[in-house]
Structure 1
Amino acid sequence: MKERLKTIVLAALLVLTLILARQIWLSPPPTGNKLIAAADPKLTDAVIGRMMPAAMVVNFGGGAHTQTVQLKNLWPFYRNILKQSFDGKEDIHWKKMPYKDYLKCHDKPSVVFEVAKGTYSDLFKNVYNLHDLHGEISAIYFSESDGVIFETEEGAMKPEFTVNLSDINKYIRSLEREANPPYSSLWERYGIQRAVYLPDEKPVFEGGVVYENDLAHMKNTYKSDLLRRLLKANIDDLHEIGEEDSTLYVYGQRTVRLYNNGLLDYKDQTEVAKEVMDSAGAVERAFEFVAKNTGTIDDVYLEKLEPITNGGVRGYRVTMNHSQKGLPVFPVQDENTDYIVVDLFNNQVKRMTYLYRNKAEEESESHAVKGMDFAEVVAMHPEIFGAKGEGYDQLLKPLKRVSLCYLDDGREEKKALVPGYYVLYGEQVYLFDAMSGDCVGGERP
């Protein structure tokens, strides 16, 4: 009996072995993300702190609104609300609101954070567990009466669970006692169903702030240390090639070109093992690289994140810019550039361009200046917006964002920042001089 039982057990094991072998050898290999587990790095607090929205609209109720860009002390409170409300929740269900109902919410005491186009949507979802939210995030609404609402490409989306908020009305009442510049939406002005806000009066900027070419005035000891960090070699081991507009430094497969106009161009052609990298990892690595090798990231914020390819290899481009009094600063040269652009592939920085310009403290004498009304700027450019006779209710239908900014003429060694408008019109970005109304950057027609 025992021998017969052993025979049955052995036969069963043999059949099981054959089944497993068949699955191992004949099943198709895993593909895509199943082949290599994707990394899920967590952004550090230092980098998350640079992921601030572009501006905050304050709705006082009764059709009164204002806007502020001083978000460093404000955003952390609302960031914690998102963390506490969504972190750890699984299978979040969203309800799409009629957009007119969402616009009516702006008539209640509330705050709305404008999110820069294409920059933070995936990162917000990564950090705040919003993976089930479809569409690119353009704004986040907070109120004690309606909780949290996300404005996305798909419309106004509200979580089905209740988010209880407090202290928002208290903050809004405190602002009512201050002198705030009035704003109104496209919906209120022109009947365009979009919660895009424009200043009702001529915007006031800080004038007299001078930016200069830091690379031209950089001490030799610091320049040598900068090259040593980037090229990972002593200055005596570098091959130096002087040219008319720049100096090229070479060490193996790495190069640094220092242009006379203040632009640093770093390239790395070395090969490394392939590593899985997602958007959060790219941002973390880019800020780490810039901080470690240049040490100059004061007042630098994350401007844009976009996927790129090179030779069939996918990577990310991380763009950073300066801010001045909470407003973004854009360098305006012969080509539209940003201050810092980092290209990463396989978790390796393959290229970095860094325009070394910053505030010249001894030259700056700040004073208030008024810019042009945005409607005046629109009227000056029929080649972009259309003829004024068509009416603003038609001209501004494609308008998705208008932000105040500063423009830095990087072609001059020293130059005062110029007040400007950053405009997202349809899918095109334009930069306008707010003093003259001229189009000076972006995707000009």
Structure 2
Amino acid sequence: MRERIKTFLLISLVGISLLFTKRLWIELPNEMLDVFSRRNETYKTSYLLSDMIIPNKYLVNFSDKNHTIFYDDSKHGLWTNSRKILNGILRLKDVKVVELPNDEFLTYNGKRSISFYFPNKINTYILAKALDVKEPNLIVDTIPNINNIYVYLGEGDSFFVFSDGEKHIAIYDESIDVASLTQQVSMIEESGNYNFYHSMRDYYRFDNDIYVTNNDMKNPLPTVYVENEIRNLDEKEKEKLAEKFLNIGIDYIGEIGENNGSTIYRYNQRVLKLNVNGTLEYFHPLEQAVKKRNLYQSLITAAEFISKSAGVQKGMYLAKVEEIKIDDSFGYNLTFRYRVRGIPIILGNEMVDFVQIEVFNDHVRSYKHFIRKDMNKSVDKDINKPVDNIPSGGKMLSSFDVIDRNIDFIVQKYLEENNIISESQEDLDIKEKVLSSSFIQDITLSYFDPCLKDIEDELIGVWVIKTNKGLYAFDIYNGSLVYEKN
């Protein structure tokens, strides 16, 4: 009897050992699948609708003469702290809504406040869903699309304004509590550690609502080097990436190596191409026609695809949503851009954008991702680039300095875009007319990536001037034109 018990215990122990060994071999590879997580700590595992729909510019108004602009929320958390308040506003049943005249709204940035600017108009209902509002209120019907959210932080009752550029809806309710935002703005002002901006309307008496700097920049841009991450992947890392995108083991995936060093992986109708220039391309043709597009479903699908297959790079945000039709199917082309050190990037060398993804409701037809890594943040011990290297010697020009140095060029572009021949560029009236018009739509501090080198490609700090039909990037140290796109 005793021997039988020993034998049973021995068999049980062997069985348990085999079970744990099996589980170990199943679980360990799953922890190692994310190639980019292993190589670059800026990647994370999930991407949500709330990560997609975020402002790309934050205008903080301390007073009518004192403003600043941020391009990233990670340091001050202004948008993060606003999301909970917005969640409450968009679910209120008896919220008070008042339409503001345009002239009145233009004066509001002269009061203590924050303006959140989105890269393009966003659907207000989608914004509400991104903020986890299950049943949005009448606001989403009153103003279906917005590109700006204004938060009043001055004396008296606080309120929000939703604006699409032409229509401005003020929202009032006793429950609105902006104490955390008020405190944060006060802390920023007291620190004095920000670049000072002025309204061209108020400071220069131009009929223009663009904000510019006209003095020394307190926070110069550090030197940043980037590298082509795909070129530096080894064979095993490429195979793991192919397994993630094609969702099957490498033994079932066909591989084709091209003469230029690019690699194509194929499984059934799905194709993944790792281009030697640093671009990853995925294609999966539609299996059936999509007769009715659904933006919310398409955004959720894109978020899940990016989380599962592509990996999420810190600083990426949804910049553009375009309706598309391919054959008899209706969907969306989503464009994502990204930031380095909190500063937006524009790409050169005919690269279109950071990420482009075609989505047809629950199906991702194509995905294109230009992958560049900040070498300064690299964990590679052989890379000796300092993390916060600030260029010495050169003085960073203000945005108004760049406008002033390039005013003749700007006037010429104005004349070309408006098909004007008779005006003289030397005429002071035409220069003032250009600066007072809506020709200059935006001025943004950015990095320009030349996209010319696979390693140690230095980003160029630029002031980007966006006009009605063009985009022009000027070096922040000498004011010279380094890039233009029409």
Give the TM-score, by structure 2 length.
0.73
1: CA distance, partners of 2:465 / 2:372: 23
Q: Which residue in 2 is equivalent to 1:57?
A: 59
Residue of 197, 206, 215 corresponding to 1:183: 197
**Number of aligned positions between the proteins:** 399
Is 1:82 equivalent to 2:58 in the alignment?
no
Post-superposition shift, 1:262? 1.0
* Range 107-116 or range 419-428, more displaced: 419-428
Which of the numbers 366, 389, 397 marks the counterpart of 1:367? 389
Distance 1:438 1:121 in 2: 40
Tell me which residue corresponds to 1:357. 372
Unaligned runs of 5+ in 2: 1-45, 416-424
Match of 2:324 in 1: 308
Q: What's the CA shift string for 1:206-241, capped at 9, x where partnerless?
A: 322111000011122121011122223433443333
| Structure-to-structure mapping, 1:9-20, within 5 angstroms | none
- Following TM superposition, by how much is the alpha carbon of 1:289 offset from its aligned partner in structure 2, in angstroms? 1.0
Structure 1 pair 158/195, CA: closer, same or farther in 2 (3 Å)?
farther
Aligned residue runs from structure 1 range 2-401, under 5 A? 46-72=48-74, 73-89=77-93, 94-118=97-121, 123-124=126-127, 126-127=129-130, 129=136, 130-134=139-143, 136-144=145-153, 145=156, 147-159=159-171, 164-167=176-179, 168-179=181-192, 180-203=194-217, 204-245=219-260, 246-272=262-288, 274=290, 277-333=293-349, 335-360=350-375, 361=378, 362-365=383-386, 366-369=388-391, 370-375=395-400, 376-377=402-403, 378-379=406-407, 380-386=409-415, 387=425, 389=428, 390-398=430-438, 399-401=440-442
| 1:237-293 C-alpha deviation (Å, 9 max, x unpaired) | 433333343333332212222211111111112514748652232222212212211
Equivalent residues of 1:421, 1:434 under 8 A apart: yes
Structure 2 CA distance for aligned equivalents of residues 108 and 363 of structure 1:
46
SS in 1 for 2:89: helix
Whole-angstrom distance in 2 between the partners of 1:359 and 1:382: 36
Which whole-Å CA distance do the structure 2 matches of 1:207 and 1:142 have between them? 31
Contact 1:56 1:69 (C-alpha < 8 Å) held by counterparts: yes
SS in 2 for 1:291: helix
Cα RMSD after superposing both structures: 3.0
If each structure's strand is expressed as a fraction of its own residues, which one has the higher value? 1
1:325 Cα shift? Answer: 2.2
Name the structure 1 match of 2:13.
Answer: none
Distance (Å, rounded) in 1 between the aligned partners of 2:207 and 2:159: 22
- Aligned counterparts of 2:435 and 2:464: Cα–Cα separation in 1: 17
C-alpha contact 1:301 1:322 (8 A) present in aligned 2: yes
Which amino acid counterpart does residue 385 of structure 2 have in structure 1? Answer: S
SS at match of 1:207: coil
Residue ranges of structure 1 left out of the alignment (5+ in a row): 1-43
Instruction: Name the SS for the 1:271 alignment partner.
Output: coil
Distance in structure 1 (CA, Å) of the matches to 2:396 and 2:169:
35
Distance 1:440 1:94 in 2: 46
Shift of 1:47: 3.1
TM-score normalized by structure 1? 0.79
